């Protein structure tokens, strides 16, 4: 099995990437403006519902039931989709899923596919896979199109181009489109994208989508979006291929009702999504004549085995946690080096990658202040701070026993075990006061102390310890 592309190859660890991102003032301005706006609108939309907390708890309960009985619901879904004319494919990992999609596209003679915004296809690196084999993927979501034409990487789950402003988007469109937009007015930019995509919608033989939800009882697949591009992709091509994580199930239509209230208010701050597309198998004369559902594992089964970490699989990709996270707001999504940025990415990406010995993946659980704002806004009540600390413990266990950190901890334990050694260490430590500034803090230490002072100050150790004071005054 090859490398899981959920984390980007060659990405630096989060601290290194964040340090670089903090120096980009335009990026920070774009992020602050966007997240502040989305955050405020979401709060207003949620405040309209008096039963919001009950909805959250219902969403949590439904998702936990799905995860506890995933084998049963997946079989039920497969039977329902097959009975209604669809074809179900099972993909163990990214390589299998990519190969299935490519083979299906080539069987239809397609050298181009149109795509609905999909985190699952981004997770497996589908675009890169298809492009390397002569099939051109065309993103039709506006923000995804901006990222694709700019040869960029996404930085947000819901708004992948959140790090770009209007002037930057106009420059990208002017450079890559046959008809350059006349200005950076949002309506002009949207019209330019519409003209650019229209021919591709009408000529595409194959479309590829993700799925927000799948109803196990009926085999129905649901995609929600705001632009209408998804509706075009889901209805015009002859063949529709949907790549879906195996955790995206809900048991019944009544359960779907809960999430169609939770998702739009948490993501786009709308009462309902402008476009909610639901299809069940194949209907002759209406929409695609072939429907293929690719059920993707790619680390999800392993994640399910972790009693604390599995709650990340409740995620409905609303991005509310990103919009309230003080770390994300300052660094942006690309610093995470993963398809899934922000707080949810910090707990989901390392588990899907499945390798805590990888320095980049192991650094993600530390990309948080543990303030808990993410838990408060999560519509399915994922306790992200709990999962973060759990994964941090796993990252520590995965480190070599002779690592600098392990040696430092064992040395500290040796000192703390003996009162005399401890007091001698205090006396030596008190000499640090000579390095302190007038405010009593040390802002720069030689290595390895520089690892700490690079991001925070150190209070100087007082001249007299409490033990020494006690002996002098109470002894």
For the segment 69-111, what is each residue's pLDDT rounded down to a tens digit?
A: 999 999 999 999 999 999 999 999 999 999 999 999 999 999 9
Determine how β-strand 213-215 pairs with β-strand 220-225: antiparallel
Place of tokens 């006349």: 182
Residue 154's alpha-carbon distances to 117, 174, 211, 332, 336, in angstroms, are: 12, 20, 19, 10, 11
For position 2, what pLDDT does the model report?
Answer: 54
Average pLDDT of the segment spanning 377-398: 96
Tell whether the model's pLDDT for residue 202 goes beyond 90.
yes
Q: Tell the CATH superfamily of the 14-299 domain.
A: NagB/RpiA/CoA transferase-like (3.40.50.10420)
Question: Mean per-residue pLDDT for 343-356?
Answer: 95
Average pLDDT score over residue span 277-286: 95
Crossing angle for the helix pair 166-176 and 142-149, to the nearest 10 degrees: 60
Spatial CB neighbours of 363, under 8 Å, sequence gap ≥ 6: 13, 14, 15, 395
CB atoms within 10 A of CB 312: 27
Three-state DSSP at 263 gives helix
Q: Work out whether the CA dihedral 214, 309, 34, 127 comes out positive or negative.
A: negative
Q: Each residue of 306-349: pLDDT tens digit?
A: 999 999 999 999 999 999 999 999 999 999 999 999 999 999 99
Query: Which of 1.10.1060.10, 1.10.10.10, 3.30.2270.10, 2.60.120.380 would CATH assign to domain 302-398?
Result: 1.10.1060.10
Beta-carbon contacts of 110 under 8 Å, excluding residues fewer than 6 positions away, are: 135, 204, 205, 206, 239
pLDDT bracket for residue 1 (50, 70, 90): very low
Closest CA to 137 of 153, 160, 113: 113
Domain boundaries, the chain: 14-299, 302-398, 412-474
220-229 average pLDDT score? 96
DSSP string covering 314-368, please? G-----HHHHH-HHHHHH-SGGG-BSS-HHHHHHHHHHHHT-TTSHHHHHGGGS-
pTM: 0.90
- How far apart are alpha carbons 134 and 130 in whole angstroms? 6
């Amino acid at each position: 099995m090859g490398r899981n592309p959920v984390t980007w190859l060659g990405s630096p660890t989060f601290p290194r990437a964040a340090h670089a991102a903090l120096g980009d003032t335009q990026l920070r301005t774009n992020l602050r403006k966007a997240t502040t706006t989305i955050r405020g609108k979401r709060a207003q939309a949620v405040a309209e519902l008096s039963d919001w907390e009950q909805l959250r708890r219902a969403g949590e309960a439904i998702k936990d039931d799905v995860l506890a009985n995933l084998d049963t619901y997946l079989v039920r879904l497969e039977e329902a989709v097959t009975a209604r004319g669809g074809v179900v494919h099972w993909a163990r990992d990214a390589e299998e899923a990519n190969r299935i999609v490519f083979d299906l596209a080539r069987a239809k003679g397609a050298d181009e596919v149109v795509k609905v915004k999909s985190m699952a296809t981004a997770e497996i690196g589908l675009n890169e896979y298809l492009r390397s084999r002569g099939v051109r993927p065309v993103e039709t979501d506006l923000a995804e199109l901006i990222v694709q034409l700019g040869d960029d990487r996404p930085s947000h789950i819901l708004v992948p181009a959140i790090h770009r402003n209007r002037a930057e988007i106009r420059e990208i469109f002017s450079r890559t489109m046959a008809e350059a937009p006349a200005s950076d007015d949002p309506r002009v930019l949207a019209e330019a994208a519409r003209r650019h995509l229209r021919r591709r919608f009408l000529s595409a033989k194959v479309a590829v989508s993700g799925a927000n939800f799948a109803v196990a009882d009926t085999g129905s697949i649901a995609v929600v979006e705001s632009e209408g591009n998804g509706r075009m992709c889901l209805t015009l091509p002859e063949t529709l291929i949907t790549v879906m994580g195996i955790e995206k199930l809900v048991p019944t239509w009544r359960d779907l009702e809960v999430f169609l209230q939770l998702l739009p208010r948490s993501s786009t701050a709308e009462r309902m999504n402008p476009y909610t597309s639901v299809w069940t198998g194949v209907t002759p004369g209406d929409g695609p004549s072939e429907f293929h559902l690719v059920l993707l594992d790619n680390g999800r089964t392993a994640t399910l085995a972790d009693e604390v970490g599995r709650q990340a699989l409740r995620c409905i990709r609303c991005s509310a946690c990103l919009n309230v996270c003080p770390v994300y707001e300052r660094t942006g999504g690309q610093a995470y080096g993963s398809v899934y940025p922000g707080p949810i990415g910090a707990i989901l990406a390392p588990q899907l990658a499945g390798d805590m010995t990888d320095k980049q993946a192991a650094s993600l659980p530390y990309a948080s202040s543990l303030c808990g704002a993410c838990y408060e806004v999560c519509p399915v009540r994922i306790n992200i701070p709990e999962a973060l600390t759990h994964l941090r413990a796993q990252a520590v266990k995965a480190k070599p026993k002779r690592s600098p950190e392990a040696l430092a901890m064992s040395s500290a334990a040796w000192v703390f075990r003996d009162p005399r050694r401890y007091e001698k260490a205090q006396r030596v430590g008190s000499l640090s006061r000579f390095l302190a500034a007038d405010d009593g803090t040390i802002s720069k230490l030689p290595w390895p102390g520089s690892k700490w002072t690079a991001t925070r100050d150190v209070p100087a150790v007082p001249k007299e310890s409490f033990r020494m004071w006690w002996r002098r005054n109470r002894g």
